[in-house]
Amino acid sequence: MSFYHALKTAAIDSGAVTNNAFNVATAHTKTFAQLPAEQFLRPLPAIHIDINASLDDATLVLNKTHQAAALVVNADSEPVGLISLAQLGSRNVLEMAQKMGLSRSELTVSDMMVSINSLRQISTAQVVNAQVGDIKETIEADGIAYLFVQNSQKKAVGYFDIIDLVKNSNGMITTLKPCHDFKDVVAQLLHNKEM
């Protein structure tokens, strides 16, 4: 049984989340999973991409700005999702095009983004009291790529990215999506390798 547990969503508390510099002394005395989670909280991307933009336009914007991810906004400039270079370059694009009966060039950002509504959101107060192991366990349990953090006004203020956690821990992730047959396992392995 794992020492860490999945974070439970709860009523939103007020609490400040800060991005502290990584403490080298702490790294020598604690395992990666025991480090404070707030050290790995990413602010919301400064780059915004329209929900109806083409995949090629989104890729161009991310490459030109040297960003790995962008916030997807609707016509009212409200955040509705996240899109990353990993999603835009993965074989999931071709699978989605085939599933929808469209060509790759006909897909838009809305077809490939990760919707904010589909993600679990935790409060800033939960982040302040959490360790990296708690965040990783939560993400693994939900089979998601991102975990959003919201403030007391229920506004997203940042997120955790599973790719960051895996890279920083030199570890591995159990799964991002549930697999039901061998084809799903192969697709998941290839997708994770691309990311």
pLDDT-based confidence at residue 185 (cuts at 50, 70, 90): low
- Characterise 173 by phi-psi region: left (phi > 0), alpha (psi -120 to 50), beta (else): beta
pLDDT tens, position by position, 85-100: 888 887 788 888 999 9
User: For the segment 2-14, what is each residue's pLDDT rounded down to a tens digit?
Assistant: 444 555 544 444 4
Residue 158, SS3 per DSSP: strand
Question: How far from each other are the two terminal CA atoms of the chain, in whole angstroms?
Answer: 28
Nearest to 109 by CA among 79, 95, 94, 88: 88
Q: What are the phi and psi torsion angles at 80 (to 5°)?
A: -125, -10
**C-alpha dihedral over 186, 195, 140, 151, to 10 degrees?**
-150
Q: Which residues contact 12 (CB under 8 A, 6 or more apart)?
A: 123, 124, 125, 150, 151, 152, 154
Query: pLDDT for 29-41, tens place per residue?
Result: 468 788 888 888 8
